[in-house]
Chain A
Amino acid sequence: MKRGLWFAIGVMLLGVPLAAQGKPLTVTGIRGVTFGAILPGVPRVVLRTDPANSGQLDIKGPKGNVLLSFVLPLTMTGPNGALMPLTFGSGDAGYSATQAIGSQVGFDPKQSFTATIPNNGRASVFIGATANAATNQGAGAYTGTIILNVTILP
């Protein structure tokens, strides 16, 4: 009986340090999608390969497969609640296991995507988009929020 109890205690104590050895999964927003100055009626495209204006999120975690999924805004919000449509093409997101913007695997940000975190536990996701300002779009600053969810796959 005592042996079993000690085993249980041992397992509980062991459990914490064992779990702490695995790399925690972290996702960090590095850079937002920047459209800059937009003229009403003129669509503005930011490519995921644009090193200055594309969005970037970095992932750190254990090597292996992860599921990437975005929560994408349909619009950007401006002065007095004015809305400006924001669209994402089927190749507007890219995954880089080397964290190099020039070495991406494109994917549709509207769909979930399975990626593999490499041995060093680091990867990056890039995203582009198109802002569609109407001809009568009100002047001012517009913003929207893009969320990347990362889930470790078993």
Chain B
Amino acid sequence: MRSITKLSLVVAALVLTGTALQAQTNNAAITATASVQTPINVVGALPLSFGNVFPGVNKAVPATDLANGGRFDVTGQASAPVTLSFTLPATLSTGGGATMPIVSYTGMHAALATQVGGVAFAPAVGTTTPLSGTGALFVWVGAQVQPATNQVAGVYTGSITMTVVY
């Protein structure tokens, strides 16, 4: 009798404990989703070319010069606004250490490589503009060099960097 009573208590405990433990925890999941748009791609398409320069004679290449102006080609998410900023050299230099000042810069951007509908801007300041409906943007850079009267003959180069961010 006593052993049966003990058994009863054990059974009761197991039944109650077991059922109490059944619903102690639960969980559920949700998802996080995102749609990443087209990354920006920038290509240096054409160099800014001053051609022959003579000592003491300033020479300017306007941004509207399709043959000699520097050009960057940008692609990205259609119609997304982008911000353009530039690192502009103050001088061109030779490998031998001679330098030639660049006294000004001009800029132009357009949705078409023909520059139709182009908008002028100051590269030193930068600008914000949307990419075209096909995700394209063309950017031209012009500048003026100021060779000294005693400017050393030679080939002068410099690097212009354009940074584009959404």
Interface residues of A (CB under 8 A from B): 1, 3-5, 7-8, 11-12, 15-16, 18-19, 22, 24-42, 44, 55-57, 61, 73, 76, 78, 84, 86, 127, 129, 131, 133, 135-152
A11-B8, A18-B16, A40-B40 are contacts. A35–B32 as well, Cβ < 8 Å? yes
Which chain A residues border B11 with CB–CB below 8 Å? 8, 11-12
Given the complex of chains A and B, what is the CA–CA distance between A147 and B163 in angstroms? 40
Which one, B17-25, B96-104, B113-121, is touching chain A? B17-25
User: Are B36 and A55 closer than 8 Å at their CB atoms?
Assistant: no
A146 to B15, CA, bound (A): 35
Q: Which residues of A contact B80 (CB under 8 A)?
A: 39
Q: How far is the CA of A75 from the CA of B68 in the complex (A)?
A: 46
Please judge, given known A-B contacts A15-B15, A22-B23, A152-B23, whether A38 and B30 are in contact too, CB under 8 Å: no
Q: Does B149 contact A (CB under 8 A)?
A: no
Find B34's partner among A5, A26, A136, A142 (CB 8 Å cutoff). A142
Instruction: Flag if A149 contacts B27 (CB, 8 Å).
Output: yes
Question: 12 interchain pairs (CB within 8 A)?
Answer: A1-B1, A7-B8, A11-B11, A19-B16, A27-B28, A34-B32, A39-B36, A39-B80, A44-B34, A131-B34, A142-B35, A145-B29
Residues of B contacting A86 in the complex (Cβ-Cβ under 8 angstroms): 32
Q: Which residue of the partner chain, among A27, A140, A142, contacts B26 with CB atoms under 8 Å? A: A27
Closest to A153 in B: B24
Chain A, Cβ-Cβ closest to B13:
A11
Once A4-B5, A18-B16, A152-B23 are accepted as A-B contacts, the answer to whether A84 and B30 lie under 8 Å apart by CB is no
Nearest 4 CB-CB pairs, A to B? A19-B19, A15-B15, A4-B4, A35-B34
Residues on the A chain within 8 Å of B27, using CB? 27, 147-150
- 9 additional contacts, CB 8 Å, given A15-B12, A34-B34, A57-B30? A15-B19, A18-B16, A34-B33, A39-B37, A42-B166, A61-B23, A84-B36, A140-B35, A152-B23
> Once the chains bind, are B4 and A150 in contact (CB under 8 Å)?
no
Any A CB within 8 A of the CB of B150: no
Asked whether any CB of chain A lies closer than 8 Å to the CB of B64, the reply is no
Closest A residue, CB atoms, query B81: A39
A149 to B39, CA, bound (A): 37
